[in-house]
Amino acid sequence: MRREAPTERWPRPTVVGVLNVTPDSFSDGGSYGSTVDATDAARRMLADGAELVDVGGESTRPGADPVSEEEELRRVIPVLEALAGCPLSIDTSRAEVARRAVALGAVLVNDISALRREPELAGVVAEASADLCLMHMQGEPRTMQVAPHYDDVVSEVASFLEERLAFAVGAGVAEERVCLDPGIGFGKTPEQNLELVRRLDRIVSIGRPVLVGLSRKSTLARVVDGPRAKVGTDAASVGAAVAAFDRGATLFRVHDVRSHVEALAVAAAIERGTVRV
């Protein structure tokens, strides 16, 4: 029996497991050498409490080059087919990849380009009545970390997300199916990333659920281990996720699912003042 996405879009907190079926993603690239390895990892994430597993076939790490549509499909389709009936999202900016993914059961399209790479992706989402996540990124993965500049990073990211939300709704996507991602690590300095989390309430005030992808980001590594550190620890990731939850974030895209599920469950209980909902 298929497990549907949460009926409340989306309850706080919702943990989304990261499954990169790529050779070069910054943290887990190359970890899943076969479809069996990838599907086993996805099932472990779901058993550990993830509401969704986000499957991606194109690395978006700083400096990454794009791959062809054919290669992206070659990577993700066998995994999506093997996970039929599981709650999945697809991490893609391509309309055809999204079309194939939602046909195979993906319930959310996670687009780091916010419909700028292929605007026709909006029609795919609207036709399928899927959910959509729009992310802010300055530049593109290959160049985004080359001297990113903002006069006010929070105001500029918020304005961008408001504009892309309006574009998506104008293209037929139901507003209640859209969530927003400020794009931690995508064209921002470590200080700008921290500022986005510190003032996350401005992004939350747009009125759509906010997704954060803080897990293992280099900003966390630099806080803990200095300017040359590259990959944050899971402990640092959990701390950042709880800080984002306290500032209103709803969805959390993570690598170590169980530790985030448990920490965020406690944070939510404290916010509610009760042990269980």
For position 230, what pLDDT does the model report?
Answer: 84
Domain boundaries, the chain: 14-272
Determine the Cα–Cα distance for residues 65 and 43; give it in Å rounded to an integer. 29
Quote the pLDDT of residue 169.
Answer: 98
What is the pLDDT at residue 7?
A: 43
Summarize the confidence of residues 122-147 as an average pLDDT: 87
The CATH superfamily label for domain 14-272 reads Dihydropteroate synthase-like (3.20.20.20)
Cα 213 from Cα 167, distance rounded (Å): 23
**pLDDT tens-digit map of 162-195:** 999 999 999 999 999 999 999 999 999 999 999 9
* Mean pLDDT within 1-9: 44
217 in active site = yes
Q: How confident is the model at residue 118 (pLDDT cuts 50, 70, 90)?
A: very high
Q: Which of 72-76, 101-105, 137-141 has the lowest mean pLDDT?
A: 137-141
Give the predicted TM-score (pTM) of the model: 0.91
Catalytic residue, chosen from 12, 217, 222, 247, is 217
Over residues 204-217, the pLDDT tens digits come to 999 999 999 999 99
For 40, half-sphere exposure in the C-beta direction (CA atoms, 13 angstrom radius) is 7
In order, the DSSP letters of 234-261 are HHHHHHHHHHHHHTT--EEEESSHHHHH
Out of 3-17, 80-94, 163-177, 258-272, pick the least confident. 3-17
Q: What is the pLDDT of residue 184?
A: 96
Q: Can you give the pLDDT at residue 22?
A: 86
Contact 149, 139 (CB under 8 A): no
Regarding predicted confidence, which is higher, 92 or 65?
92
